[in-house]
Amino acid sequence: MSSQENTTHTPARRRGRGRLRAGAVGALLVLVMGLFTTAAGADRAATEPTEGPARFAPGFVHGRVAVDGGFVHYVRGGSGPALVFIHGWPETWWMWRKVMPELARDHTVIAIDLPGLGASSIPTGGFDKAAAARRVRQAVNRLGFTQVQLVGHDFGALIAYPYARDFPGEVTRLAVLETPLAGFGLEDLYGISWHFRFNMSPKPIPETIMDNDDVPTYLGMMFQFSKHPELIDRETYYAAYADPARRSAGYEYYRAFPADAENNKANASTRLPMPVLAMGGEFSFGPGVGASFSQVADDVRPVVVPDAGHYIPEENAPFLTDCAKLFFGATATTPDRAELAGCVR
């Protein structure tokens, strides 16, 4: 809500919001302490452009590509087979910054902002994961790639799944990080964290409750689902979701979960033919990601990422990089440590 709207709160509502904030004092204190240990690179993120040469690493460029209903912002670098990264909530393409430069040595790395989030335009609909997958595919195709390898985190993985399922001839390998699949285990999480039901609430319930000044408190709580919150560039994501319209787009992705589950169950007989790397953090989903995707795919490689919670690409980027190089590499390579065994091509 705008600052002007805030001046019209009734006394009763102000008291209610005061009680809500009082209940979050503990989380806010944790957040404030964490601001002093924000990951290195936050200053660069604040000045990263949305078009032209990137600043986070040499050889990368920002651009926009038209899709149905608007455009998708992307960051691209390297050469070779296309490796497409799809982020989750509440993050943006920036979550992949630590793994992109090394993987760009052997791949054309493309990290996108999902429609409605980051620097992509906000569509009027199509937030179910099958529709979102079609938009992502359209962006990738228009960048000149019809054969890709996909990496998705959180609901980026929920979008990567229908991309691979509905266009199996275009996806050669798939990596899914830190989520069970809608219809095959995601629903079991609704009682574990209240944010699921909150984000899924009908419009405008979360839009009205969540003010701009609540963003660090709320997202700060989400980033505590990690082993190393100090490694997450939280300030960048607070800024990315400071726009109420982008927060609403994020809620729409959650509101589509029931439709996603129906779609996934209806199409589960179309099993994924490509290898699937299913990664869960040691302090988060662990082997549960593989157990979920094994219900829709025949060749699932479960991997537990050590010393990481939900935000694997930021908490343990070196492990993810090593694992991805093995899984997406041109030839099979013997890993140098046991925990990488599931990553072998």
Q: What is the CATH number of the domain that holds 69?
A: 3.40.50.1820
Residues of the domain holding 132: 3-343
- The band of 47, judged by pLDDT with boundaries at 50, 70 and 90, is confident
The residues pairing with 175 across neighbouring beta strands, listed in sequence order, are 151, 277
pLDDT greater than 90 at residue 256: yes
- The band of 44, judged by pLDDT with boundaries at 50, 70 and 90, is low
Instruction: Say what angle helices 257-266 and 129-142 make with each other, to 10 degrees.
Output: 80
| Maximum CA extent, the chain | 66
Higher pLDDT, 105 or 1: 105
pLDDT greater than 50 at residue 234: yes
Angstrom distance (rounded) from CA 28 to CA 38: 15
User: What confidence tens digit (pLDDT) does each residue in 325-339 have?
Assistant: 999 999 989 998 999
Report the mean per-residue pLDDT for the chain. 90
> Residue range 302-310: average pLDDT?
98
Please state the φ and ψ torsions of residue 294, each to the nearest 5 degrees: -65, -15
CA nearest neighbour of 238 among 213, 206, 203: 213
Give the model's pLDDT for residue 107: 98
pLDDT greater than 90 at residue 250: yes
User: What confidence tens digit (pLDDT) does each residue in 65-94 have?
Assistant: 999 999 999 999 999 999 999 999 999 999
> Residue range 34-45: average pLDDT?
44
Only one residue has tokens 């509502």, namely: 13
Instruction: Say what angle helices 25-34 and 11-23 make with each other, to 10 degrees.
Output: 60
CB-CB contact of 245 with 255 (8 Å): no
pLDDT greater than 60 at residue 38: no
> Residue range 22-49: average pLDDT?
46
pLDDT greater than 70 at residue 188: yes
Q: Which pairing describes strands 171-177 and 148-153: parallel, antiparallel, or unpaired?
A: parallel
Total structural domains in the chain? 1
Q: Which residues contact 78 (CB under 8 A, 6 or more apart)?
A: 59, 103, 104, 105, 106, 107, 108, 109
| C-alpha distances out from residue 160 to 69, 87, 204, Å | 20, 10, 28
Q: Which residues contact 60 (CB under 8 A, 6 or more apart)?
A: 53, 54, 75, 76, 77, 100, 101, 104, 109
